[in-house]
């Protein structure tokens, strides 16, 4: 079996659901259930004996050690993280605790468990760290896309905390020989993304008749990937990646934020038209995010050439699926938007309103 952490969040849940749709190998899913983790997403697995859900913290060394001893996984896939850049600006403490201290405790428990395994299980064991392109920092318009050898130059508390966790992962390989793998992926979109992130936020606000907040001049560039393609890349690296190596994941889909928001509006105009006019009329430019990275772009050549991965979705086909999913699942959106989430949104957008 495999141990997945953060498997009640956006990408982790897509990974677990996708994994159990095609594999019989069971999954132990350790998730703290922060505001971003939702058991509602995992409801299809509630009677599935291949899925063992455990509510808990990756930073709880004793809990993790007990799970490893009991379930004897052949791999750990670490999705657990605080993941929202805007929250890291106002409350960075949780980012340090989970993304750095939590990753350290998980690594330490993994190292001790790995040391107890017989030779064959030891060499087959993998610790896969799910990371982000944001650790590489920001690119000027003419720069080549990030390759795996690009220096880590994080610019905000979220990316700095992810970078610190990744460095510990790397160090556990070099110092202790732990067979680690790291993936650095670009921005994801797709089903079950918490509606504080750009694309689901824009869909929700559009349908509610609210402003669609675009930070600064809207010309910041992100490289977008459909979540299912990211999950398949992680499976591919887990099975065929070389321990100690990093693999960038992305589909060369660079878009400015205003382009993304306009594309969402165009899809909504087609699929759920307003009584009059276009959703574009709701676009509102607001105060920029502090320390806002201008451009991310991923070169995924290594993953494609060495491991044979390629994305199934283009930006257009993937975005259509994402928008359609949110239109079809208003109950999920209402469910995850608790009172605490609403309070945070009010604070965030009062502070950033131009």
Q: Which stretch binds ligand TYD (CB under 6 A): 22-30, 177-185, 207-215, 322-330?
A: 207-215
- Binding-site partner at residue 135 among ligand NAD, ligand TYD, none, CB < 5 to 8 Å by type: none
Sign of CA dihedral 189, 191, 197, 203: positive
Residue 167 CB, nearest distance to ligand NAD (Å)? 14
82, 133, 166, 235: which one is catalytic? 133
Pick the piece of the chain touching ligand NAD (CB under 6 A) from 51-59, 67-75, 172-180, 233-241: 51-59
Q: Compute the distance between CA of residue 239 and CA of residue 306 in angstroms, rounded to an integer.
A: 12
Q: Contact with ligand TYD (CB under 6 A): which of 103, 257, 263, 282?
A: 257
Is residue 48 part of the annotated active site? The answer reads no
37 binds, among ligand TYD, ligand NAD, none (CB under 5 to 8 A by kind): ligand NAD
DSSP codes of every residue in 145-183: PB-TTSPP---SHHHHHHHHHHHHHHHHHHHH---EEEE
Is 196 labeled as catalytic in the residue annotation? Answer: no
The one catalytic residue in 31, 82, 86, 134 is 134
Site for ligand NAD in 154-173 (CB under 6 A): 162
Contact 352, 215 (CB under 8 A): yes
User: Should residue 135 be labelled a site residue for ligand TYD when binding is judged by CB under 6 A?
Assistant: no
Residue 214 makes contact with ligand TYD by CB under 6 A: yes
9 vs 164: CA distance, rounded Å: 21
Q: Angle at the Cα of 232 (from 230 to 235), degrees rounded to 5?
A: 115
CA distance 3 to 28: 5
Check binding of 103 to ligand NAD (CB under 6 A): no
Specify whether the CB–CB gap between 158 and 95 falls below 8 A.
Answer: yes
Measured from the Cβ of residue 347, the count of other Cβ atoms closer than 10 Å reads 11
Which 3 state secondary structure label does DSSP give 278? Answer: coil
Residues with a catalytic annotation lie at 133-134, 158
Q: What residues make contact with ligand TYD under the rule CB under 6 A?
A: 85, 187, 197-198, 201, 213-215, 220, 222, 257, 289
Chain positions contacting ligand NAD, by CB under 6 A: 5-6, 8-12, 30-34, 36-37, 57-59, 79-83, 98, 102, 130, 132, 162, 185, 187-188, 194
């Amino acid at each position: 079996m495999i141990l997945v952490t953060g498997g009640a969040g956006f990408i982790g849940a897509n990974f677990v659901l996708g994994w159990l749709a095609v594999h019989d190998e069971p999954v132990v899913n350790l998730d703290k259930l922060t505001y971003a983790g939702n058991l509602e997403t995992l409801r299809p697995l509630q009677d599935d004996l291949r899925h063992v859900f455990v509510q808990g913290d990756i930073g709880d060394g004793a809990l993790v050690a007990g799970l490893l001893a009991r379930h004897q996984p052949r791999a750990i896939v670490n999705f657990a993280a605080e993941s929202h850049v805007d929250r890291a600006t106002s409350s960075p403490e949780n980012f340090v605790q989970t993304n750095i201290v939590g990753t350290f405790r998980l690594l330490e428990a993994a190292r001790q468990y790995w040391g107890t395994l017989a030779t064959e299980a030891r060499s087959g064991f993998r610790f896969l760290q799910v990371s982000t392109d944001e650790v590489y920092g920001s690119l000027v318009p003419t720069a080549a896309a990030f390759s795996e050898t690009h220096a880590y130059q994080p610019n905000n508390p979220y990316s700095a905390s992810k970078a610190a966790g990744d460095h510990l992962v790397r160090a556990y390989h070099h110092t202790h020989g732990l067979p680690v793998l790291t993936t650095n992926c670009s921005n994801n979109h797709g089903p079950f993304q918490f509606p504080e992130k750009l694309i689901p936020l824009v869909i929700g606000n559009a349908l509610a008749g609210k402003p669609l907040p675009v930070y600064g001049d809207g010309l910041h560039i992100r490289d977008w990937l459909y979540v299912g393609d990211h999950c398949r890349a992680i499976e591919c690296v887990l099975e065929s990646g070389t321990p100690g190596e990093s693999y960038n994941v992305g589909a060369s889909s660079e878009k400015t934020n205003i382009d993304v928001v306009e594309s969402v509006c165009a899809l909504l105009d087609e699929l759920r038209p307003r009584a009059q006019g276009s959703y574009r009329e709701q676009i509102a430019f607001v105060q920029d995010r502090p320390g806002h990275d201008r451009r991310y772009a991923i070169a995924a050549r290594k993953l494609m050439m060495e491991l044979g991965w390629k994305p199934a979705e283009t930006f257009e086909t993937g975005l259509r699926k994402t928008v359609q999913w949110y239109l079809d699942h208003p109950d999920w959106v209402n469910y995850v938007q608790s009172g605490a989430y609403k309070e945070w949104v009010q604070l965030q957008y009062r502070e950033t309103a131009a």
